[in-house]
Amino acid sequence: MTREVDLAVPLRIADLTAARDPVTVLVGPEVRERVATARAFLSDVLGDDRAVYGATTGFGALVGYPGRAELRDQADNTLAHLGAGQGPDLGPEVVRATMLIRAWSLARGASGVSPHVIDALTAMLATTFVPAVPRLGSVGASGDLIPLGAAAQALRGRGYAYLDGVRLPAAEALEKAGLEPLPLDGRDALALVNGTSLTTAAAALALDSVRASHRAVQVLTCLLADLLGSDPQFLDVRLLRAYGHPGAVAVGAYMRRVSAGLVPSGKRPLQEPYSIRCAPQLLGAAEDALRYVDSVVRSDLEGVSDNPLFFPDEDLVVHGGNFFGQPAAFAADLLSMVVAQVGNLAERQLDLLVDPNRTGGLPPMLAAGPGQQHGLQGVQLASTALIAEIRRDAVPASMQSLPTNLHNQDVIPLGTQAALRVLDQARLLHLLVGSLAVGLRQAAYVGARAPTAPGCAEVLAAVAAAVPPVDPDRPLDGDVRRAADVIATVDVFPNTLS
């Protein structure tokens, strides 16, 4: 059944993830009325010879020069010079989420777009059509100009697009999808590109993935402690309340539910290594950071990113900077730090698990026959490479401002780079979580005790159903991906952290 998304209500991240497939986007009478009202107001303003950026003027640093006399020609004036993007095409799930966010922002009725622009976006989202959008070119300062410009051109039948996953000339893809090329004037074209919808989409999708991995590491930490026979007092409610941080309290409460019934073996040291003992503090700090990112993404999804904005009831055209993606830039950089430290925790837990000196006698590398077999040795090496890749890319983007556009854009947030970068990192974190899950499954096979907590036993059973024991050795790349997908969906108890 095709999911429905209503432009009259706030978007949710679930709407964005659903939009990777065809979705039915509802445009009710309230939305149509406010879009039509703003469009009529724009016509009145232009009839009064009032200056409107992008409709009567040049763009960016050339705002002091008049634009083209014909409104239709202004679309070419807007979009042609933005055809400068480079690099590989963005993934279809990112582009389609971007277009849904753009439709929602324009549907607020503050952008002065033609109603048929909203209709074209919603029609596109009901098909498998995806504009081919180059990754590189946006600085997130006047919105995601160059990537959104490529998307707008594809909707006009120019450039390239994907249909059913096949890259085609955009005009051909439109025809095969049953879509008409989108006619635009200068205001329509500028409204399509002058917002941070790509940045918001990438940040939201990354947040969704990191949330799943964050929860999975909580669950796997409990399973690790149970397989080793650790004393669960590191999760004690009094201990974590005394710590005073809301995230740690919330994480500890969830981990106690997962590990309820865990019986210590009595054979472990008084204090476990930090990768177990300090997990609620680390993951709790991540939870506090994720709550901040949640709030930024929610505000972006409910806001209007464009310039200028039109307020018909007050007879106002207001020029400003609502296309400036600084909030998402800060949030994406913070999310990158969360990914790096949660990923580091998962990698260190796997390192502990393959070391017989710290597990109390499990075979090295969890090999079923050490020497004749090598168990998790390749997976652990790959995990080291994954966390190194995440760390290498963790330098903040949001403070790398460079002046550009004849110093019209003399400060820039670089939120697009931050958001796309952390989306890449989130995918690597997913694989690190899968690597740890495979290690825990193998530990149970080569001699770790059976879980004593029912929740931990349920988690182990879910992973074991998807990943056979490593005996004899085999390539484990597919097992890591399967385990990552399984543990991302296992829900021992409803997670109420967020």
- Which 3 state secondary structure label does DSSP give 361? coil
Q: What are phi and psi of 239, to 5 degrees?
A: -60, -50
* Residues forming the active site: 53
What DSSP designation does 428 have? H
Residue 287: CA atoms inside 13 Å, Cβ hemisphere, count? 24
Are residues 56 and 48 in contact, defined by beta-carbon separation less than 8 angstroms?
A: no
Return the number of other C-beta atoms located less than 10 Å from residue 30's C-beta: 12
C-alpha distances out from residue 204 to 304, 413, 488, Å: 16, 17, 17
Collect all residues with Cβ–Cβ distance below 8 Å to 174 and sequence separation of at least 6.
129, 155, 157, 161, 180, 181
Measured between alpha carbons, how far is 155 from 135 in angstroms, rounded to an integer? 18
Q: Tokens 């994720």 belong to which residue? A: 290
Residue type, 184: L
C-alpha pair distances (Å), 83 with each of 68, 79, 94, 132, 290? 19, 7, 19, 12, 35
Q: What is the DSSP string of 458-497?
A: HHHHHHHHHS----S----HHHHHHHHHHHHH--SS----
Three-state secondary structure call for residue 68: coil
Residues forming beta bridges with residue 146, ordered by sequence position: none
Instruction: Output the six-digit token pair for 159.
Output: 């450039």
- What is the C-alpha to C-alpha distance for residues 74 and 51, in angstroms, rounded to an integer? 14
| Residue 167 host element (H or E) | strand 166-169
- Report the residue count for the chain: 498
Q: At what angle do helices 145-155 and 71-79 cross, to 10 degrees?
A: 130
**Cα 245 to Cα 459: distance, rounded to the nearest angstrom:** 27
Helix axes 145-155, 170-177, angle to 10 degrees: 50
Strands 309-311 and 316-318, how do they pair?
antiparallel
